[in-house]
Amino acid sequence: MMEIINFADRPSLVSRYMRELRDVNIQNDPLRFRSNLRRIGQIMAYEISKRLDYSDVGVQTPLGPCVCQEPADKLVIATILRAGLPFHEGFLSYFDRAENAFVSAYRKYREKGDSFDVLVEYLASPSIEGKTLLLVDPMLATGSSMELGYKALLSKGMPASIHMASVIASQAGVDYVSEHFPQERTTVWCGAIDPEINAHSYIVPGLGDAGDLAYGEKS
């Protein structure tokens, strides 16, 4: 069964950063918004690091030899553009030797109503064959973008394991990825899981459009 980890189940520093991300009185500071996404990424990276495999490495100190541990997993951090960039930076600042992948997935709304298709138009990725894939995107709303991003990455190989990380997820999004991702090889990490999505497929209460808050509104 897929493991779902919700940081909101146990208060921590993530709770503070989450409050600031959601607060409309603080959201008008894009630098602070990006910084909080980055810091949550760093905390999640640390927690994920406890799940990796390690190997012993001998080092020489000024006073003698010492055995230390080094991650043995080959990591690829994959991000859905554009809101994922500061979140990605948080992971990369801790997993500084990881390879990196970027996927552009966007909503293309149909002529009438709130319905839309999710389209992937760009992929830059190393091989992910047999590696540990960290698939990071701040918002997990319907789960469609995450699934299509993952399917695009599969053109680069089959990962040994998957860690999916989001700052805020909807319960519907969590349920969706639980059904569409490999059960035994996937762990989902969420800063919080909110109860619903609205007619526009935005998470409620959520925080709004993370990409616009981080980088400015789209025309």
Residue 83 phi/psi, 5-degree rounding, is: -60, -25
Burial label, 155 (beta-carbon count in 10 A; 0-12, 13-18, 19+): exposed
What CATH number does residue 133 fall under? 3.40.50.2020
Residue 7 lies in a domain: yes
Residue 15 lies in a domain: yes
List the chain pLDDT tens, one digit each, 219 residues: 899 999 999 999 999 999 999 999 999 999 999 999 999 999 999 999 999 999 999 999 999 999 999 999 999 999 988 889 999 999 999 999 999 999 987 666 566 655 656 677 889 999 999 999 999 999 999 998 899 899 999 999 999 999 999 999 999 999 999 999 999 999 999 999 999 999 888 999 999 999 999 999 877
Residue 119 lies in a domain: yes
Residue 65 lies in a domain: no
Residue 202 lies in a domain: no
Using CA of residue 98, residue 148, residue 124, residue 193, what is the dihedral sign? negative
Among 126, 71, 68, 122, residue whose Cα is nearest residue 94: 71
What per-residue confidence (pLDDT) applies to 118?
62
Residue 88 lies in a domain: yes
